[in-house]
Structure 1
Amino acid sequence: MPDITTLHNLYVNDSNGLLTTITAIYDRIEGKDFNPVWISIIPREKAIARVKQLSLITIEERVKLPLYGIPFAVKDNIDVATLPTTAGCPAFACGPVAENAPLVEKLEQAGAILIGKTNMDQFATGLVGTRSPYGACASVFNTNYISGGSSSGSAVAVASGLVTFSLGTDTAGSGRIPAMFNNIIGLKPTRGLLSARGVVPACRSLDCVSIFAETASDAAIILSVTRGFDEFDPYSRIPSDSSGASPWIIAPTFRIGIPTVVTREFFGDIHNPVLFQKAINVISHDLNGELIEFDLTPFLNVASLLYKGPWVAERYAAVGNFVDQHLTEIDPTVRTIITKAKDYTAVDTFNAIYELERLKKKTNKLWEMFDVMLVPTAPRAFTFDEIGAAPIEYNSQLGYYTNFVNLLDLAAIAIPAGIRPDGLPFSVTLISHAFTDTALLILGDRIHRSLATNIGGSSRSLADTPKLLSMDNCNMPSNCFLIAVVGAHLSGQPLNYQLTERKARLIRTCHTNQEYRLYALKDCVPAKPGLLHVKNSEGRGIELEIWAVSADKIASFIAMIPSPLSIGNIHLDDGQIVKGFLVEPSAVNDAQDITHFGGWRSYLNSTKASS
């Protein structure tokens, strides 16, 4: 299925394009055995009625509908009006539900067309995609291999071209593992960024709705439509102005943490380590990533709490009573995991919470070293026979790089990273702090285009799809502040630490336009210049640096600025206007005009040479 932009162009140029697209989807579904992908389908006639409704909207009005005519699917633990919600267990459904989950409502209001609800590991318990009475979905690359779960059908629906995007859920990695095994983007948003109301929970305090798409650009559009506070969802969150500040996304370099070789694990696979190293090399050499090796062990210790600790009891809180009353209708592995919750006490829970907080201190210390983490999405792929022989052991191995993410309140995106010699796909995952979702999508798009060629399981070229943002036109995230410095705050100068200790990042070196003069101020310790705007001046552009500072750090930085310096608008030689250091006009009366040096560094170098 084409990406959002391609479909929109088709609909503009072909008046029958929307009807043809939706009809072709239903023809494919009815003409081939796609049953393992779907649990329930929107009736064809209802979808066609939706097409006719959308077709009445003028081309000019369509710009208000960012998902106009875009087909999508949702995992069957997400409510859709008129369809049952089974969560992968037929007996769980109590007939058609009355209302859409808020996310489904938002997508339809944005013009999207729902095709159906997809298969899943029962009660979202598993990373394999085989624990369903509706059948097991396979990887679109090899039917002997699992699709990954629990959002199996949602990933396969996108990778096989049945829909443009889909919704899944992610507690332990269910929005990322299926993305790897089907060569698509899997965005695991920050917990609480998307409403989880109308979703059957697995672990309510950890769950989030995930997004599957062919490209990061499409995922970004879907995220922009679905994100937002839901006052009726207890875990919905409103990010602060500085939440997820990501100045590194527009800096010339970014610090990327990679696990040390001894803490990388592929469980005997020989191809994935090679592709992971290739990804590291490309990110370092082609994308200017600064590699920082770190010990993954504290993160692995966090991960072990998810299934070997009392968080399993939260699954029982969600569906335990139902499971107890319908034991014969529950997948044996799912039943074993959920009923294990009875082994834990309230004391165990508090002790685990204490241990998690202790481990957070260790992981937070590691995060000071890098901006974003890069890991394999999964260590290896498994065949159906292998999973059947050791369902819990191999499920645990799949979560090696995923299980810690939600416990630590991190955001993540799985990115296709090449095809193995045996034809199976490989994937890497970017992980960073809560609310860095947009920055991860931007970087993820660059990595995707550097490592992959085709989209999903198709022969369509990734290069033919729109880039999310390029390095040259990337807009500054709203939670950061650009500031220009001209003197003692420049790189290598005595006050530069005031920026770096606030984790500000150097963006670029540039010049003012010609209407500025630079003065060496008297009686300043350390020595400082003063930049003054002089209208119609015939000076030369003054060198300065642009730094990005997190919004929550800028006030404390500005508070340290002494008189006669201040912050004002500075006009650059390329026409851009930024905030930066200026001087009060009265302060230059007895100051030396050093404009002809073109910048503070040149002036300092000249004084050193003369001495």
Structure 2
Amino acid sequence: MNTLPPDPEPVPPIRPTASQRVIAAFERITEAARPELWSTLRAVEDVLVDAKAVDERVKAGDNLPLAGTVLAVQDSVDVAGQPSGRQVPETSATVVTRLTAAGAVVLGKTGSGTVAAAWDRTKTGGSGAAVAVALGIVDLALSTAGAVPAALNAVVAVQPTRGLLPTTGVRAAEGISVYATGLVAGRRALALMTGPDDADPATRVWPAEFRLGAGEHPRVAYPHDLPLGAAAALAFESAVKRLTAAGAVLEPVSLADPDFGDALLLPTVPDHPELTEALADPSGVAHRLASGTAFANLLDVAAVTVPMLPGDKRPFGVTFLTRAFEDQIGLDLAAVCTDEPMTPYPEPGEEVVVFGAHLRGQPLNTRLTELGARFTRPVRTTEAYRMVLLNTEPPQPGVLDDAAGTSLDGECWRLSPAAFERFAGTLEPPFVLDRVELEDGSRPLAVRCAPTADGPDLDRYESWRGYVRFASTAGPRDPG
């Protein structure tokens, strides 16, 4: 049979240098013609000095994860040398310092006043930070305006558990939100900003135990009693359908007395007001738009906002609220709506690899999910192991060292430190936690068995699921 040659491997795009990205940002500022977005816009010469310093550090071999990233900062967050109200701070807010240390370059400061939306200048866009991201002027923006501007401009907003981001140099009671074009970019910035700050006693550390995942069928509550405009209702319905198709269990609740479940899904805004209305009655419009997502600032929760239907110029969004320190659950649910890869928040935790009855869909998987473990990825070991069938109930495999062995398929799960200790306590002899070497060179802990354990060889199946399929069709017999 004739076959076509395989397609060549795609060439990864070359990331622009910091200097190139800054020049493109100022060109975009000219094209957009939106001077009202900025309370202070730095001179291009000054920004290029910072950008060239980043480029030199990259050439010298420094690892700068945000090299080539342009940042806007709302005027309630300090930037050294840039006016903040009547003051000109000498130092930047801690969150800004952490981003610039990773290679981001500050373009300017956005105002907190009402401006037109990025998609339709007859509509309100909330504050300028989200508009600057939506217009492609900047890659990231820091704001204290919360979820609403993100929804009005079809960008992502991530507001982590209160206290995870230091507020030194932030002159607002509201939590800090990161605006970005996508979840991956927002999560990356969040990871770099998270961590204690000696100058901020309000920063919090992660507790010993918290949930990183909600299993394959998370319970997502959503309000059935919010009045929504037609476009907002369509966007919200689209999110509900996506989550249901992905396996989530959607449960209608009353917003007056919501039961969170694993997360609470909210329409970020009920409608998209005209700019003239927002300017004439700013407090009234702001109250109406934030009526659903005000929980994010009033309660101890984490929030993730993602756009729905941005392609047809109706940039309504949905917001996921999760309990404090369960940020990862909200990020993973939001990823279902954006088709982006699920990426981890930098919380403390332990990874464990499983090969048998703890796999997804297997009888002991609930021992992981009930502890809030998060499935991170499928894995494969090097060719240095063998798998045997142990005499246990339920049936389980034992993984043993074998220099002449084969590679085995498994799954990697992540748990909080306390949950990991509790999981380890569920293992009974002959099972032990010991390290395995994976194809990527890492050596995580895994559920293995004592070296003295033995049983029928399962190597021919390369995975426990392979053997389970064999046993279900062939019936009880020698697996060899």
TM-score (structure 2 length as normaliser): 0.79
* Corresponding position: 1:432 with 2:438: no
> Structure 1's 509 and 383: CA in aligned 2 closer, same or farther, altered over 3 A?
closer
SS of aligned partner of 1:447: helix
Deviation at 1:445, TM superposition (A): 4.7
- Residue 346 of structure 1 aligns with which residue? none
- Residue 24 of structure 1 aligns with which residue? 27
5+ residue gaps, structure 1, are 87-92, 122-128, 130-136, 302-361, 450-466
- Residue 185 of structure 2 aligns with which residue? 218
- Residue 270 of structure 1 aligns with which residue? 230
Spell out, residue by residue over 1:519-564, the C-alpha distance to the aligned partner (whole angstroms, 9 max, x if none): 544xx7x5665625262567x9888776554432121222233333
- Residue 73 of structure 2 aligns with which residue? 74
Deviation at 1:388, TM superposition (A): 5.8
Spell out, residue by residue over 1:65-97, the C-alpha distance to the aligned partner (whole angstroms, 9 max, x if none): 3333533221111122333312xxxxxx2x423
> Structure 1's 35 and 596: CA in aligned 2 closer, same or farther, altered over 3 A?
closer
SS of aligned partner of 2:121: strand
- Residue 7 of structure 2 aligns with which residue? none
* Corresponding position: 1:184 with 2:122: no
Whole-angstrom CA distance in 2 between matches of 1:583 and 1:270: 58
- Residue 246 of structure 1 aligns with which residue? 212
Residue pair 2:353, 2:410 contacting (<8 A) in 1 also: no
Aligned ranges 1:414-433 → 2 under 5 Å: 414-419=305-310, 423-433=313-323
Whole-angstrom CA distance in 2 between matches of 1:110 and 1:575: 27
Whole-angstrom CA distance in 1 between matches of 2:274 and 2:247: 35
Aligned ranges 1:30-49 → 2 under 5 Å: 32=33, 34-49=34-49
- Residue 160 of structure 1 aligns with which residue? 135
- Residue 4 of structure 2 aligns with which residue? none
> Structure 1's 231 and 576: CA in aligned 2 closer, same or farther, altered over 3 A?
closer
Q: 2:88 aligns with which of 96, 116, 136?
A: 96
SS of aligned partner of 1:138: coil
Residue pair 2:380, 2:407 contacting (<8 A) in 1 also: yes
SS of aligned partner of 1:401: coil
Whole-angstrom CA distance in 2 between matches of 1:563 and 1:444: 40
Residue pair 2:187, 2:345 contacting (<8 A) in 1 also: no
Deviation at 1:155, TM superposition (A): 1.4
* Corresponding position: 1:289 with 2:289: no
SS of aligned partner of 2:448: strand
> Structure 1's 389 and 440: CA in aligned 2 closer, same or farther, altered over 3 A?
same
SS of aligned partner of 1:276: helix
Matched to 1:531, the amino acid is: G
Whole-angstrom CA distance in 2 between matches of 1:534 and 1:484: 15
SS of aligned partner of 2:218: strand
Matched to 1:502, the amino acid is: L
Deviation at 1:417, TM superposition (A): 1.0
Spell out, residue by residue over 1:290-328, the C-alpha distance to the aligned partner (whole angstroms, 9 max, x if none): 23214143xx45xxxxxxxxxxxxxxxxxxxxxxxxxxx
Aligned ranges 1:210-609 → 2 under 5 Å: 210-240=177-207, 242-243=209-210, 245-247=211-213, 253-255=216-218, 257-260=220-223, 262-266=224-228, 269-285=229-245, 288-297=246-255, 300=256, 363=259, 366-367=260-261, 370=262, 372-387=263-278, 391-419=282-310, 423-437=313-327, 440-441=330-331, 444-445=334-335, 447-449=337-339, 469=341, 479-484=349-354, 486=356, 493=363, 498-504=367-373, 515-521=385-391, 526=393, 531=398, 533=400, 535=402, 548-570=414-436, 579-586=445-452, 588=454, 593=456, 595=458
Matched to 2:15, the amino acid is: N
Tell me: higher relative CO, structure 1 or 2? Use CA pairs within 8 A at least 6 residues apart.
1
> Structure 1's 199 and 536: CA in aligned 2 closer, same or farther, altered over 3 A?
closer
Whole-angstrom CA distance in 2 between matches of 1:574 and 1:227: 27
- Residue 119 of structure 1 aligns with which residue? 111
Spell out, residue by residue over 1:393-445, the C-alpha distance to the aligned partner (whole angstroms, 9 max, x if none): 44332123211123332222211211486x43121223333344466446545
Matched to 1:119, the amino acid is: G
Q: 1:147 aligns with which of 125, 144, 155?
A: 125
Whole-angstrom CA distance in 1 between matches of 2:250 and 2:337: 17
Spell out, residue by residue over 1:565-596, the C-alpha distance to the aligned partner (whole angstroms, 9 max, x if none): 322245689998664443334455xxx64749
Residue pair 2:155, 2:180 contacting (<8 A) in 1 also: yes
SS of aligned partner of 2:122: strand
**RMSD between aligned residues:** 4.1
Residue pair 1:142, 1:424 contacting (<8 A) in 2 also: no
Structure showing greater radius of gyration is: 1
Residue pair 2:129, 2:141 contacting (<8 A) in 1 also: yes
Spell out, residue by residue over 1:459-517, the C-alpha distance to the aligned partner (whole angstroms, 9 max, x if none): xxxxxxxx6x469xx89976253342535998564x66544542446778999868425
Residue pair 2:389, 2:456 contacting (<8 A) in 1 also: yes
Matched to 2:272, the amino acid is: A
Decide which moves more: 540-549 or 183-192: 540-549
Whole-angstrom CA distance in 2 between matches of 1:231 and 1:546: 35
Whole-angstrom CA distance in 2 between matches of 1:506 and 1:27: 46
> Structure 1's 569 and 49: CA in aligned 2 closer, same or farther, altered over 3 A?
closer
> Structure 1's 534 and 382: CA in aligned 2 closer, same or farther, altered over 3 A?
closer
Whole-angstrom CA distance in 1 between matches of 2:477 and 2:71: 68
Aligned residues: 461
As a proportion of its length, which structure holds more helix?
A: 1
Whole-angstrom CA distance in 1 between matches of 2:41 and 2:292: 33
SS of aligned partner of 1:143: coil
Whole-angstrom CA distance in 2 between matches of 1:59 and 1:448: 31
Decide which moves more: 529-538 or 103-112: 529-538
Deviation at 1:187, TM superposition (A): 1.6
Matched to 2:107, the amino acid is: I
Whole-angstrom CA distance in 2 between matches of 1:120 and 1:476: 30
Whole-angstrom CA distance in 2 between matches of 1:559 and 1:427: 43
> Structure 1's 544 and 603: CA in aligned 2 closer, same or farther, altered over 3 A?
farther
SS of aligned partner of 1:429: strand
5+ residue gaps, structure 2, are 1-11
Matched to 1:68, the amino acid is: A
Deviation at 1:18, TM superposition (A): 5.3
Residue pair 1:247, 1:550 contacting (<8 A) in 2 also: no
Percent same amino acid at aligned positions?
23
SS of aligned partner of 2:248: strand
Matched to 2:303, the amino acid is: A
